Amino acid sequence: MSANFNEPLDLSEEQILTLAPDESSKKSGKDLANPSKWVSKAISARALWGECQGSGSKPYQTQVDLANLAFKCSCPSRKFPCKHGLGLLLLSARQPGLFQPSEEPLWVSDWLSKRVEKEERRAEKKESAKPVDEAAHAKRQQARQQKVSDGVAELLLWIKDMIRSGIHALPAKAPAWWENMARRMVDAQAPGLANMVRTLGNTNFYRTDWQSECTEQLLRIYLLISGYQYFDQQDPLLQADINSQLGFTINQEELKEAEGILDTWLVLGKQSSEDQGITTERYWLFGATTRRYALILQFIVRGQGAQLSLTPGLRIRAELVFFPSTAPLRALIKRQIQADTNSDGQGFSNWKEVADSTTATVSVLPFDGPRPYIVHRLTPVLHGQQWWLKDEEQTLMPIKENFRPIWKVLSLSGGEPLDMALIGKDRTFEPIGVWHDRQYKII
């Protein structure tokens, strides 16, 4: 994969800052986007590089792989990208004329060559991998299935006891009551059920309609349990969904062997969360030709660098392989050909079309989670104490509670309708990007 030097990436400052690992890196990166901070700087068809004068006698050598948006720096920081990488990329976006085409110095070309060699070694290792002991694997799977079955039976009894006692008593339950059952599901090797129990325990019991939120989550858990109890009678694709929801993993290297879908994918947005030292990054994509949505997940252990870096608002020409499902959404990037600039999105015309789509999905996957949608010409309006999104049919849909960037949506809208990318399910949605003056703006 290589970048087109004649058509460099047109990244906005906002898009670059989404790559920052934290707020302090954003601030420091902005400070370093100053020509006076850099002893040297240049660009080639493959990379961007510069030398930043720090506190030591030797300047830090910073480089950016333009094809993959990967970073390397000789500074001691363990953040990826570090403030120097962000500063260099920000400076190139603000003042591209400062970066003159040049032959790559040895420290840049060596790094790029090592990246290529690493990928080749990874491919060779995969080809020469030791054959799996099928008998031992089957035995381990059988043992895990028994643990999951025992955990499912216990969880079902717990739910039935909860319903018999009446959900009116749930707001008084201590956090430990929910966490104990979640940990029991972890012990049963069903981490997916553990997360669903924790979500149930995190119900906002201070809301007047908390009963609806609670019963909907209870229903999702019950439907998943029921599907598992009659697992052998399910369609193979639904079996894959049930296993995925329970927490069974799929060999991703084997999945990449399957034929993928080649398209130009617009990166709609990125969402990050951290739990027990593991950062989960969710990248939401939309295919320009196929009009399919995709979710790319990345898990990063604290202190380790990310393997994948996708910038919201950027288009990537890539082949995606979707995980088996009755309603495929999660995918892997099998190969990425190039990155490009912003693209328009073709989505739904109104909320009725969104509702029809979600109904079709829930009919085959009743315990489905949030999904992305592009909806045209939505206007933010305030009704009571709640912000809503109004379509051209005057239908209203509530925005997620305590949605902090609402003021950015309002400033871009100015009271006029906007095409929006949203994440949501049921009756609550969260804008992650809008099209303004034919440019995709991250929310």
Please provide the DSSP assignment of 359-410 as one string. HHHHHH-TT---EEEEEEEEEEEEETTEEEEE-TT--EEEBPTT-TTHHHHH
| Residue 309 pLDDT | 76
Residue 81 has pLDDT above 50, yes or no: yes
Q: How confident is the model at residue 224 (pLDDT cuts 50, 70, 90)?
A: very high
353 and 395 in contact (C-beta within 8 Å)? no
What the block records as the tokens of 266 is 């617009």
Region for residue 247 given its phi and psi (left: phi exceeds 0; alpha: psi -120 to 50; beta: otherwise): left
320 and 263 in contact (C-beta within 8 Å)? yes
What 3-state DSSP class applies to 227? helix
> Which residue type occupies 433?
G
Task: Indicate the fold that domain 252-340 takes in CATH.
Answer: OB fold (Dihydrolipoamide Acetyltransferase, E2P) (2.40.50)
Question: pLDDT of 251-283, one tens digit each?
Answer: 888 898 899 999 999 999 998 887 777 788 899
How many angstroms separate the CA atoms of 112 and 131, rounded? 32
293 and 425 in contact (C-beta within 8 Å)? no
For the chain, what are the domain ranges?
Answer: 13-126, 134-246, 252-340, 351-442
Look at the pTM and tell me if it is higher than 0.95: no
The average pLDDT across 338-343 equals: 58
How many angstroms separate the CA atoms of 280 and 265, rounded? 21
- Residue 257: half-sphere exposure toward Cβ, Cα within 13 Å: 7
- Which is more confident, 56 or 367? 367
Task: Indicate the fold that domain 351-442 takes in CATH.
Answer: OB fold (Dihydrolipoamide Acetyltransferase, E2P) (2.40.50)
Residue 377 has pLDDT above 80, yes or no: yes
Are 252-340 and 351-442 the same fold in CATH? Answer: yes
Question: pLDDT of 312-327, one tens digit each?
Answer: 888 889 999 999 999 9
Q: How confident is the model at residue 302 (pLDDT cuts 50, 70, 90)?
A: low
What the block records as the tokens of 301 is 């252990």
388 and 431 in contact (C-beta within 8 Å)? no
Mean pLDDT, the chain, whole residue set: 89
